[in-house]
Structure 1
Amino acid sequence: MAAAKIKKGDRVVVLSGKDKGKTGEVTQSLPKEDKVVVSGVNIAVRHAKPSQSDPQGGLKRAEAPLHISKVAHVTADGKPTRVRFEERDGKKVRVAVKTGEAING
């Protein structure tokens, strides 16, 4: 399995879909499914019946996963960039293609 180019804690921008252009932080990475959960993006609404544990019921909002191909890493100036791997000082590091700077993580 290839190393993940987008990881938990990365700042990303949505490239397509209803949330196109929104930015957020990756809160969860699901590498086996090639999906990520981004804070404040792709909010799913579910109707919940009242129950003993939740007597109020009503509409429940939660962040749903996005496919990893729909998001791109954001550079310091807020523009999307692809990510590649390079070997620097004997270590494999993630590098922003547009700027050439190393990405922490």
Structure 2
Amino acid sequence: MSRRCELTGKGNQTGHRVSHSNIKTKHVFVANLINVTLQSEALKRSVKLRISANALRSVEHRGGLDAFLAKASNDELSKKALALKKELAKKSEAVAA
């Protein structure tokens, strides 16, 4: 399992640690990922995802998982999140019809 957020696509970054004497050593800045269970109101079920702490704040700010996925672009979502987004789209089309 890669260390990548399933909603925003954030992953590890590389760079240097720079000491006081300006010695540069390679360093990996690891993404702050957490395992969460989010409720989907449209699907009436919970979904387990591994997302970054920043993505969790974004989900809460946009008004829940359903609203976040509606606005999210497809290229940054994982396969699991993309399938969830398509399932939400089908559900909203069925309700509208």
Asked if Structure 1 and Structure 2 have the same fold, meaning a TM-score greater than 0.5 normalized by the shorter chain, the answer is: no
TM-score of the two chains, using structure 1 as the length reference: 0.26
Bigger share in helix: 2
Which one has a larger percent strand, Structure 1 or Structure 2?
A: 1
Q: Which has the higher contact order (CA 8 A, sep 6+)?
A: 2
TM-score for the superposition, normalised by structure 2: 0.28
